[in-house]
Amino acid sequence: MSDTTLIKNAIESKNPYNSKVLQEYELDTPELVASKLEKSNSVFKVWKEKSIKERTNLLNNLSNLLEDRLEYLSELMTQEMGKPISQSRAEINKCIFLCDFYATNAENFLADDIIETDATESFISYDPLGVILAIMPWNYPFWQVFRFAVPTLTAGNTALLKHASNVSGCALAIQKLFEDSGYPQGCFQTLLTDHETIDGLIKNDIVKAVSLTGSEKAGRHIAKVAGEHLKKVVLELGGNNACIVLDDADLDTYLDTMVNARMQNTGQSCIAAKRFIVTKGIYDEFLGKFTKKIKDLRFGDPMEESTEIATLAREDLAVDLEKQVHDAVKKGAKVILGGKRDKAYYAPTVLTKVNTDMAVFREETFGPVAPIFKVNDFEEALKLTTDTKFGLGTMVFTEDTEKASKAISEIPDGAYFINELVKSDPRLPFGGTKASGFGRELSKEGILEFVNKKTVYVK
């Protein structure tokens, strides 16, 4: 059961908190999709000739517009996918930071890279590829799109967005933001369409590359279709991040961070702490304090300022989470807190006596469930941490940062955070390894993902 319903040739979106119908959106006809594709390609030929300075000036406009519309956009996000309103505002503010970062740095990132050879002149030119297709999820409906679109457009490409259907209002609002900021009509376009249409777009010669943030299953499919047509892909997929808590961890300072690492966005985050691996010397203290903090989280209407945790974005997501917890209990886990579902709401849950055979260890849990593992020492914690097919990020809490730093090479993930939750930052590259995908977003690495790194040699 979903909070987004397909009705003939339309999408009906619902508020996941109260099930009220929000809006009905007509799906794009095949003819309209084809028209948008051609327009994106036509605009690219003009857009790519714009100077980087002209493009970054538009980023300043975009940043200002996000600030002007912050409240409207935050409320739209909360209504469509249920994020607490304070967290929606934080997401829009992060998009503003992203725009400002690339407005300041893009010209330097994209400048020709002079290489000394026996040529009179030789350098690397960073040329845009063309039309880039983005397939994006609902859990961070603005941030996920912006961290793709801002560097991709600034590099001179044009973009087509297939957003998750339950945030169609956000998708259209994003297109309007770009257009109202002065970007040419067709530079950024939203597609309201189905997945079968997306396969056809990937196969189309006009589309030069694909960026997907989503599930491992979706990533495998998109990579297969794109690979058959020799299209570049950036994949940011699921995660099963470990949060290691060592005996000397400063719980007074970092406990709120640990709770936030699991419970922000009601646990619906690929980089959330999915497995808490705690050494035996601090285990009892951590379990008691951590459980109390979670028990005290305020549930309620996500539009209320005091709400800290809300329903999941759709009821089927809560059902899936319930199945994973039932699997754990059946295999011997103990529910310390929560473990109950009411429609799209799943109570914040703490599990102990968990083992590696359980779904809560092997699979990604996309909701407010925290399995706690007890281990003897850091070495055992590292072994358990890396026993996963995913590779998005790992976090370690300890006062011995030198010891934690020596383990950097033992963690094969895309990120390793000490005394902080794993998070994305415009200044740092973001992405994973193994089943968490490949390629990088953000920073200099992100803006260079969808460019042709062309060697130029003059003699």
- Residues recognised as catalytic: 236
- Residue 26, φ and ψ in degrees, nearest 5: -75, 135
- The amino acid sitting at 449 is E
Residue with tokens 């793709």: 148
One-letter amino acid for residue 289 of the chain: K
> Cα 2 vs. chain centroid, distance in angstroms?
21
The pairing of strands 131-135 and 232-236 is: unpaired
Query: Residue written as tokens 């539009």?
Result: 303
DSSP conformation letters of 351-391: EES--TTSHHHHS---SSEEEEEEESSHHHHHHHHT-SSEE
Residue 300 CB burial class (10 angstroms; 0-12, 13-18, ≥19)? middle
Task: Kindly tell me the sign of the dihedral angle through the C-alpha atoms of 327, 328, 331, 333.
Answer: negative
The SS3 call for residue 273 is strand
User: Measured between alpha carbons, how far is 27 from 415 in angstroms, rounded to an integer?
Assistant: 38
